[in-house]
């Protein structure tokens, strides 16, 4: 059964939401995406049998929706991000889900134990072994949540040259060189407004595309971390 969106502003599938947004029938600037990401994540947690190909397509649609919204929020001359995830990115997504499914089986075997106790013991021992790659849906959900926390009254008029993707790419590379890993949320702590947050996020996506950094979690649905990708 296809994932259905049911909000006050829209009812239908992700494909229908993407089509209407792309054609301008839905004002994506005013349409909150975070409830959609949260509902989708809850839907995934309740699935008994996961179809990886189907969910990869859904994650691609979610990523495209956020990319479109960012382009509408930020009228700057920034490099366009591909709307369709490339084959290599799809493969990384599948691998990420396979790891999560494997971990789910481990948790199932431990269902009679206290969850917090299990995580405290198991993950501490396996800290160096387990890195769960963050899939596109989780990454865009995390960024969408940060965006939604900012005031809608914020002034968006800002000179294009004040923030550049190249500048933020260099900043992220510098931070990941100075520390073995950094929190995803920490990238945006000093951002002065939505525009700077968007530029930082686009720089992050570009570094992921170039395979220069890795975005991961140490436990399922835990804190998102960023580190240099060691080739």
- Local confidence pLDDT in tens for the 231 residues of the chain: 678 888 888 999 989 999 999 898 998 888 888 788 778 777 776 766 666 567 667 777 877 787 787 767 654 434 444 443 344 455 555 555 555 555 545 444 444 443 444 344 434 444 444 678 886 667 777 787 777 665 444 434 444 446 788 889 999 999 999 999 999 988 888 887 777 787 888 888 888 888 899 998 887 777 889 999 876
Cα torsion through 151, 189, 124, 122, rounded to 10? 20
Q: What is the pTM of this model?
A: 0.48
Cα torsion through 151, 155, 159, 161, rounded to 10? -10
Structure tokens at 117: 């106790």
C-beta of residue 183 within 8 angstroms of C-beta of residue 201: no
Compute the C-alpha angle 208/210/211, nearest 5°: 60
Helix (H) or strand (E) holding 183: strand 182-183
Phi, psi at 225, each rounded to 5°: -120, 160
Q: In the prediction, which pLDDT does 108 show?
A: 46
Q: In the prediction, which pLDDT does 162 show?
A: 66
First to last CA, the chain: 40
């Amino acid at each position: 059964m296809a994932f259905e969106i049911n909000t006050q502003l829209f009812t239908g599938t992700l494909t229908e939401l993407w089509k209407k947004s792309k054609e301008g029938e839905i004002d994506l600037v005013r349409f909150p995406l975070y409830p959609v990401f949260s509902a989708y994540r809850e839907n995934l947690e309740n699935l008994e049998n996961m179809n990886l190909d189907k969910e990869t397509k859904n994650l691609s649609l979610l990523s495209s929706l956020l990319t479109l919204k960012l382009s509408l929020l930020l009228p700057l001359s920034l490099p366009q991000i591909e709307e369709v995830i490339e084959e290599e990115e799809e493969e990384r997504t599948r691998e990420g889900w396979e790891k999560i499914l494997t971990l789910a089986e481990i948790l199932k075997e431990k269902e009679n134990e206290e969850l917090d106790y299990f995580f405290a013991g198991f993950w501490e021992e396996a800290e160096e072994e387990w890195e769960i790659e963050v899939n596109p849906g989780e990454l865009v959900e995390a960024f969408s949540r940060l965006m939604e926390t900012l005031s809608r009254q914020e002034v968006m008029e800002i000179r294009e040259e004040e923030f550049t993707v190249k500048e933020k790419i260099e900043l992220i590379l510098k931070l990941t060189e100075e520390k073995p890993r950094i929190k995803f949320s920490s990238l945006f702590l000093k951002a002065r407004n939505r525009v700077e947050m968007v530029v930082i996020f686009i720089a992050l996506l570009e570094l992921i595309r170039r395979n220069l950094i890795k975005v991961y979690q140490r436990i399922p649905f835990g804190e998102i971390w960023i580190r240099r990708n060691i080739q």
